[in-house]
Amino acid sequence: MQRTVEINSTVSCIVSLVPSQTELLIDLGLRDKLVGITKFCVHPLGLKKEVQLIGGTKNVKIDLVRSLNPDLIIGNKEENNQADIEALESILPTWMSDIFNLEDALEMILKVGEITGKAEKAEEIVSKIRLNFSQIQPLNKPNKSVLYLIWKNPYLAAGTNTFIDSMLELLGFKNALDQDRYPEVDLTKLNPDFIFLSSEPFPFKEKHVEELKNQFPESQVVLVDGEYFSWYGSRLIEAPAYFEQLLNELQA
């Protein structure tokens, strides 16, 4: 984003505007430093009852954040609203991530560890992620196409130039879309080998699987855990084990 963020003292009060980065802060040992989170920060369980909610990722309550007087706000370029970030960075130190792939995520973890005084713990988390991802065995039939749906009415999918797309590529899949970001899709023009229905942000259920199976009888339609495909913080430690299980089921 071509900007410098200056933090003039040891970080003691943090507002997190992104669920996956909130979970990372907890795993870095900073739970007692968190003074504000979004309503979507669902991990760890119970955190939302203990920490002030400051709105959603796209509609931050600026005055409430100001009243908390944090010395650090952590957000993400894709997940947060530009106007909210511009308002916040004018009054408080606001550090942003911009993540498209695994290496971006690991760099973010290390940087958050550095600026919060948890560099050693961050390096430990990154080492575990690298080790676990190095053991993934990709799909045994490469270049099978997958349509990764994130929304219904209208159908929106994860296209290229996204973190989800990078995860699919690591697993040996080919994205059924050649469009960037999260386009609306016309299902009648597609014939993917697999259709993944993400658990978030739209809560796809088994009934949606049956609907699409009827429409795509030759495609394998499955529900997938969206957190493992799109959360780029410490949850990445567990992601490879989930991916291995998923690949085994698809190849059974």
Domain ranges of the chain: 14-119, 144-251
E strands of the chain, at which residues? 14-16, 34-37, 52-53, 72-76, 94-97, 144-151, 156-157, 173-175, 194-198, 220-224
Q: Are the C-beta atoms of residues 45 and 121 closer than 8 Å to each other?
A: no
Output the pLDDT for position 142: 75
Asked whether the beta carbons of 194 and 219 are under 8 A apart, the reply is yes
What's the Cα-to-Cα distance from 37 to each of 111, 130, 136, 219, rounded to whole Å? 20, 28, 33, 39
CATH topology identical between 14-119 and 144-251: yes
Multiple choice CATH, 14-119, 3.40.50.10490, 3.30.830.10, 3.40.50.1980, 3.40.50.2300: 3.40.50.1980
Spans of the chain below 70 pLDDT: 1, 252
Q: What is the pTM of this model?
A: 0.94
pLDDT at position 10:
85
Distance between first and last Cα of the chain: 44
Task: Give the domain 144-251 fold.
Answer: Rossmann fold (3.40.50)
Q: Which tens digit of pLDDT belongs to each residue from 37-55?
A: 999 999 999 999 999 999 9
Pair of tokens at residue 228: 């493992």
